[in-house]
Chains A and B, each alone.
Chain A
Amino acid sequence: MTGRTVLGIAALCIAATLSPASSVVDAYDFDNPALEARYRTLIAELRCPKCLNVNIAGSDAPIASDLRRAVRRMLEEGRTDQEILAHLQDRYGDFILYNPPLSPATVLLWATPAVLILVGLLVLRRLGSRRDAVELTEEERARLDALGAEDP
């Protein structure tokens, strides 16, 4: 293999990782760049109902294309991002949101990291205080010896 082919393959590999998943799909022409930016954000946040773990930006499933069209239509009608997400959530449930709302069903999902950090901090504090207790001053050690205690 020449150096050139190696370089070529490397370039291809890098290009493959750089190309955004949304390039698969039909590009809509927006007159308004701000609208287009919101469109790109929304379709990246919405999960394809048919393909389980792809957003609707990256899926070429027909339903994903329908949902992109619905998002575009609602954007052009002047609806807010919140209204659009709520509209689709009403129809497809929390499943369609990659950023799930806090609800009784998802409280474990949101609370677990905080709880784990709290537990970690408590454990750290406990370990710290235990070490403090072991370190005796010279004076205390002398008293301990005087009392006839053995080394711990």
Chain B
Amino acid sequence: MTQARALLIVPLAVFVGIVVLLYSGFGLGRADLLPSALIDKPFPDFELPTLAGEPPRRSRDDLVGEVRLVNVWATWCPTCAAEHDELARITGETGISIVGINYKDDPNAARAWLAQRGDPYLFHIIDARGDLGVDLGVYGAPETFVVDATGVIRFKQVGAVTADTWRNSMAPVVASLQAATP
């Protein structure tokens, strides 16, 4: 009979197990943040017009050579405006260059936006239809990639780059990549 009594505990144990499993789901963080699939993969090939117009087009070759940030932004994106000053501070203080991808935007509005706020970027390419965005796994703006000197993506930040995310997540990655770059 002791075995049968022991079996009575099974449903309760299963129930407690399910509760623990589901409760721990609350701690998994934001469901709208996708895992970054492109980490440690090469930055996709591109050849796109520039916002400045001079030179008229830029390609992946203009990206490689040193550790850079690649920032996907647009004038329709309020968070991009919020992170603009932080990006300017980062490039000003650390000297790392930032490449802008003007994502599904009106180029004239983008130029006006930069004229008003300042342009801390190395250059901007225009991804008017979002095709490079699809190649990059972009699903919103802003997104910021850390790309190493060989053109491999090493880190992806979805959402604004803040002083905190820079200090805690991005700066260490950039520092170790720069240390590894001859």
Q: Specify whether A and B are partners.
A: yes
- How many inter-chain contacts with C-beta < 8 Å in the A-B complex? 45
By the criterion CB–CB under 8 Å, are A90 and B134 in contact?
no
CA distance A83 to B137 in the complex (A): 16
B41: interface (CB < 8 Å): yes
Q: Which residues of B contact A50 (CB under 8 A)?
A: 139-140
B100: interface (CB < 8 Å): no
B62: interface (CB < 8 Å): no
By the criterion CB–CB under 8 Å, are A93 and B135 in contact?
no
- Evaluate whether A90 and B129 lie within 8 angstroms (CB atoms) in the complex, with A52-B31, A66-B134 already known: no
Interface residues of B in 121-144 (CB under 8 A from A): 129-131, 133-140
CA distance A90 to B38 in the complex (A): 7
Interface residues of A in 16-51 (CB under 8 A from B): 49-50
Interface residues of A in 58-97 (CB under 8 A from B): 62-63, 66-67, 69-70, 89-93, 95
**Which A residue's beta carbon lies closest to that of B76?**
A62
By the criterion CB–CB under 8 Å, are B37 and A89 in contact?
yes
By the criterion CB–CB under 8 Å, are A91 and B34 in contact?
no
**Which A residue's beta carbon lies closest to that of B130?**
A66
By the criterion CB–CB under 8 Å, are A93 and B130 in contact?
no
By the criterion CB–CB under 8 Å, are A63 and B139 in contact?
yes
By the criterion CB–CB under 8 Å, are A92 and B41 in contact?
no
- Evaluate whether A91 and B38 lie within 8 angstroms (CB atoms) in the complex, with A49-B139, A50-B139 already known: yes
**Which B residue's beta carbon lies closest to that of A91?**
B137
B104: interface (CB < 8 Å): yes
CA distance A42 to B104 in the complex (A): 24
By the criterion CB–CB under 8 Å, are B131 and A90 in contact?
no
By the criterion CB–CB under 8 Å, are B137 and A92 in contact?
yes
**Within the complex, what minimum Cβ distance (angstroms) separates B1 from chain A?**
12
B182: interface (CB < 8 Å): no
- Evaluate whether A62 and B41 lie within 8 angstroms (CB atoms) in the complex, with A91-B135, A92-B34, A92-B137 already known: no
Q: Which residues of B contact A67 (CB under 8 A)?
A: 134
By the criterion CB–CB under 8 Å, are B32 and A52 in contact?
yes
Q: Which residues of B contact A93 (CB under 8 A)?
A: 34-37, 137
Q: Which residues of A contact B140 (CB under 8 A)?
A: 50, 63
Q: Which residues of B contact A (CB under 8 A)?
A: 31-32, 34-38, 41, 104, 129-131, 133-140
